[in-house]
Amino acid sequence: MRLHVDQRHERVLELVRERGSLRVAELAEELGMSAVTLRRDVEALAAQGLVERLHGAVVWPTGQSRPALAAAPPAEGLVVGMVVPTTEYYYADVVRGARQTVEAAGARLTIGLSRYLPDEDAAQARRLLSTGADGLLLTPSWESGCPEPGEGLWAVEQGVPVVLVERSAPLGHPAAGLDRVRSDHAHGAAEAVAHLAGLGHRAIALAVQDSPTAPRLRVGYRAAVEALGLTPVSAAPLDGAPSRSEAKRFERTLEYLCEAVASGNVTAAIVHSDADAIVLIPRLQARGVRVPEDLAVIAYDDEVAGLADLPLTAVAPDKHAVGAAAARLLLDRLGATEPGAADPGAGESGRRPAARRHLDILPSLRIRVSCGAVAAAP
């Protein structure tokens, strides 16, 4: 027979009052409840000040009469769930950074993959919670990197701490209040523009593939062009009409860059991604466009840019740092790490402040041959 919510709350309070401290997983098993339901009950009781949740455990509130508590449970036993589109290419380092940080804290990371399939993000999150995840690192498959109106509400309804990874939500959207960590792609694009401008280029093209990264690249590119007083360049054809065919995408981008160079104005380009740049540069050269003499190129991502036969200057998002920072933020939220001396918000209780945090990790620019700032080896 299922207990009414009030009966469940009374039973939770009775057991915690009696024993002082209980692991959430142990309490769920003893009460015959799902871990998801118990977490929601504990959150509700904690919001009323009737219990405290700390380090994946439920404890009797400080200052109230209760049995002596055992030492606070360690992070060991905590489970961090992570939903990402894939563990290949870009996200391999993001996952690696999160995993190393979680395991260094004595916790465990479990992974769910959405493969960009519709509704799969929420399904994977539910699966991870049902198998014991105490908190979630989420990279939803939002095409623009942000949810559309009415999209993404599920991310704020999980009943456990959530950190968005390489995603953000617009102001006013419920998910905008979630913790998040992302690469500042706009800053990365602006740094690339500034570097090319410093080399004397006044008209710089931007060729990006359709991806959640693209909108932020366009924002940074346009801001830097305006701030530096550079010559505006017509938008790439893919900006208004993305191509679903890889062959068509390369063909259209190639034509755009060749025409831009032939016009006599454009002398530099930023290409997303570096894999695209590796494909495009030989085709440009076959059409008589020399790199970097006729067209200086900076790639975006730096996954394989340094391995090209003409090593590519590239903007390199620190994906490992993004994953690590997101994991630390979630572990802090779960109470699995101790506040450092530099944390001004830690009070006498030693607990982290409840304020949400939005962290932007700045990419770095790695100079190689393709931008013309470094001479090619003889």
pLDDT digits (tens, 9 = 90+) for 65-77: 444 433 334 456 8
Short-list 265, 272, 237, CA closest to 251? 237
pLDDT at 69: 37
pLDDT at 348: 41
Strands 313-316 and 296-300: parallel
Tell me the β-bridge partners of 137.
82, 163
The amino acid sitting at 39 is: R
Question: What are the tens digits of pLDDT across the range 201-226?
Answer: 999 999 998 889 999 999 999 999 99
Q: Which of 132-146, 159-173, 342-356 has the lowest mean pLDDT?
A: 342-356
pLDDT at 241: 67
Contacts of 208 (CB under 8 A, 6+ apart): 214, 217, 218, 236, 238, 239, 270, 271, 272, 300
pLDDT band at 361; cut points 50, 70, 90? very high
Is-contact 80 90, C-beta < 8 A? no
C-alpha distances out from residue 162 to 188, 327, 378, Å = 26, 10, 52
Question: What are the tens digits of pLDDT across the range 224-246?
Answer: 999 999 999 988 877 666 666 78
Contacts of 371 (CB under 8 A, 6+ apart): 195, 196, 199, 268, 292, 296, 297, 298, 313
**Cα(246)–Cα(311) distance, integer angstroms:** 23
Short-list 55, 116, 109, CA closest to 338? 55
Contacts of 177 (CB under 8 A, 6+ apart): 156, 356
CA 244, distance to chain mean position in Å, is: 25
* DSSP string covering 62-126: TTS--PPPPPPP-STT-EEEEEES-SSTHHHHHHHHHHHHHHHTT-EEEEEE-TT-TTHHHHHHH
**Cα(365)–Cα(186) distance, integer angstroms:** 13
What separation, in Å, do the N-terminal and C-terminal C-alpha atoms of the chain show? 80
Is-contact 106 75, C-beta < 8 A? yes
Query: Which residue bears the tokens 């790439």?
Result: 236
Short-list 180, 185, 96, CA closest to 140? 180
Determine the average pLDDT of the residues in 244-269: 91
The amino acid sitting at 157 is: E
* Average pLDDT score over the chain: 86
* Neighbour-count burial for 38-49, b at 16+ CB within 10 Å, e otherwise: bbbbbebbbeee
